[in-house]
Structure 1
Amino acid sequence: MQVLEMVGDRSGSISPEELVSFLKKNLQYQEVRLGVLQQAIVNRAAAARGIEVDQPEIQAEADRQRRERHLERAADTLAWLSNQQITAEEWEAGIRDRLLTQKLIENLFGNEVESYFVQNRLDFDQVVLYQIIVPYEQLATELFYQIEESEISFFEAAHLYDIDPNRRQYCGYEGKLYRWSLKPEIAAVVFAADPRQIIPPVQTEQGFHLLRVEEFITAQLTPETRQEILQRLFREWLNGELNYWLNPYNLGEQKNE
């Protein structure tokens, strides 16, 4: 009882000081702080370019989210908002921020996607990949030869020995991955392999990898790839803006604007 009385009150409310203290103690404060700064940068850049989000756009996205969450009645939506401890206005403000970010990204980089794709086409080659990661080289080598000799299948070995529980559950399946998302030492051997080939152990800081290529997918500028390029360009731009804002030599300039 004494512990409960120290935090907030019986209604469950939490003071801003308690919230900040919790975030700092759990090493989450910097992440949240950077998120707030990033949104401020987006708002500033959008305003400078005359980019706005109107109410019909917010309503359309709210309706989409309601359908996604099966909130068919207004009462269902209000109950969900209450459970999230936010108001309808706060929910709409969050939607507005996300839509504004999407519009800014398109405004900044929409015309650069094709040229970026052409210049970096190899990065967007994809592979459907399975892998096993184990902690010891001897185990990796033994598994490699057992798989080669058909004493055990790759998928059974992944299910039994992989260090990652999720990958064990999916028998080593990693999914469809871009070349750029792989570690360089992994990408080098994977994209030099033949489909269905078992690649001998490769060491990284994670452990010893056994890899199996299911298929290669040649890079194409699909809607998915376009969004990936937009996000990559936006992250690079946003990091540059963040570094500028956080540079103490620029604080005076920012305050004077």
Structure 2
Amino acid sequence: MSNIIKVSKEDIIYHIKISCQIPSLLEAIATRKIITETAEKEGIVIEIAELQQSADNLRLANNLIKAEDTWAWLQKHYLSLDNFEEIAHLNLVSAKLAHHLFADKVEPFFYAHQLDYSAAVTYEVILDDEDLSLEIFYALQEGEISFQEVARQYIQNPEIRRAGGYQGIRKRSDFRPEIASAVFASHPPEVLKPIITPKGAHLIIVEEIIEPQLNDPTRVVILSDLFTNWLKEKISKLEIVATLGDDTNSSSSA
């Protein structure tokens, strides 16, 4: 058998079809068309310096430090330099369109949904035995055992065990509703009474509640969410039809 396998365009299209990727691919293509057409309609202008910066950002995001890195990346993805510029251009158009449409809506959205941007620093151990979790809870309150000791004894995942059950900084939406209610009503530092979910009995220490702030990272998240939701709404109103060059057409009513 030869060490070379030749793959045609027809092979690629066929594989996309039988791996059921066409719907997501059509949605991605429709999204690109919506962005470019809306940007043109709204008069979005791209400056040369902005495009160069977008290209630099694309290289940085893909760790393309040297020229040979870029060439290798282009070859791997079957792209030309023109394609690379097109990707950078689309990234820039998307960012500028998002800012154009929603920059003035970020602040009102934040204050209308302020609680959603609260965050908490927590440590967690999940037990199978509710009675045991209560015993450990009372032992923690009495100072008979440390949470680090509980984590070492009952957490299976080595990395989480070494970190003492540390869960990082998590937004309200990252928690199950019943856990979020207890976490954000706590007075840190506080050990919460075990919370029962289908996963088990959750022993949680709330170390800190981080009040929401409309800083640059939060602005970026909100702007991205607003733009993404706008695109999804646009897609939902479309019927996408693909002509694949055979007797099978793909139609998607999003």
TM-score bracket, normalised by the shorter chain, equals: 0.7 to 0.9
Conservation of the 8 A alpha-carbon contact between 1:159 and 1:167: no
Greater Cα shift, 215-224 or 59-68: 59-68
What secondary structure sits across from 1:229 in the alignment? Answer: helix
Contact 1:125 1:217 in 2 (8 A): yes
Q: Which of 15, 21, 24 is equivalent to 1:19?
A: 15
RMSD of aligned alpha carbons: 3.2
Change (3 A) 1:117 1:71: closer
Residue 133 of structure 1 contacts residue 163 of structure 1 at CA under 8 Å; is this kept in 2?
A: no
CA shift at 1:57, angstroms? 2.2
Match 1:74 to one of 60, 67, 71: 67
Look up the match of 1:10. Answer: 5
Equivalent residues in 2 for 1:236-247, closer than 5 Å:
236-246=229-239
Show structure 1 runs of 4+ deviating over 6 A: none
Q: What's the CA shift string for 1:131-156, capped at 9, x where partnerless?
A: 22345535544543454455553234
Superposed CA deviations along residues 84-129 of structure 1, whole A, max 9, x for unmatched, are: 4332222222222222211111111100111122222222222122
Scaled by the length of structure 1, the TM-score of the pair is: 0.76
**2:35 — aligned with what?**
42
Question: Which residue of the partner structure matches residue 133 of structure 1?
Answer: 126
Does the C-alpha gap of structure 1 residues 41 and 11 become closer, same or farther in structure 2, counting only changes over 3 Å?
same
Partner in structure 2 of residue 252 of structure 1 = none
Structure 2 Cα separation of the partners of residues 23 and 42 of structure 1 = 27
Confirm or deny: 8 A CA contact 2:120 2:206 kept in the other structure.
yes
Q: Which runs of 5+ in 2 are unaligned?
A: 242-254
Report 1:16-165 matches (<5 A). Answer: 16-21=12-17, 23-24=19-20, 28-67=21-60, 71-138=64-131, 140-150=133-143, 152-162=145-155
Q: Does the 8 Å contact 2:122/2:208 carry over to 1?
A: yes
TM-score computed with the length of structure 2 as normaliser = 0.77
Q: Which has the higher strand share?
A: 2
Check the 8 A contact 2:126/2:200 in 1, yes or no.
yes
Task: Report deviation, 1:188.
Answer: 0.8
Stretches of structure 1 lacking an aligned partner (at least 5 in a row): 249-257
Quick check: 63-72 or 103-112, which moved more?
A: 63-72
Could you say if the C-alpha distance between residues 137 and 94 of structure 1 is closer, same or farther in structure 2, counting changes exceeding 3 Å?
A: farther
- Aligned-pair CA distance for 1:22: 5.2
The structure that is helix-richer by fraction is: 1
Residue type of the partner of 1:20? I
> Which range is displaced more, 131-140 or 75-84?
131-140
CA drift at 1:228: 1.8
Which of 167, 175, 197 matches 2:168? 175
Amino acid at match of 1:111: D
| Kept in 2: contact 1:159–1:170 (CA 8 A) | no
How many residues matched? 240
- Percent of aligned positions with the same letter in both sequences? 33
Distance 2:65 2:48 in 1: 20
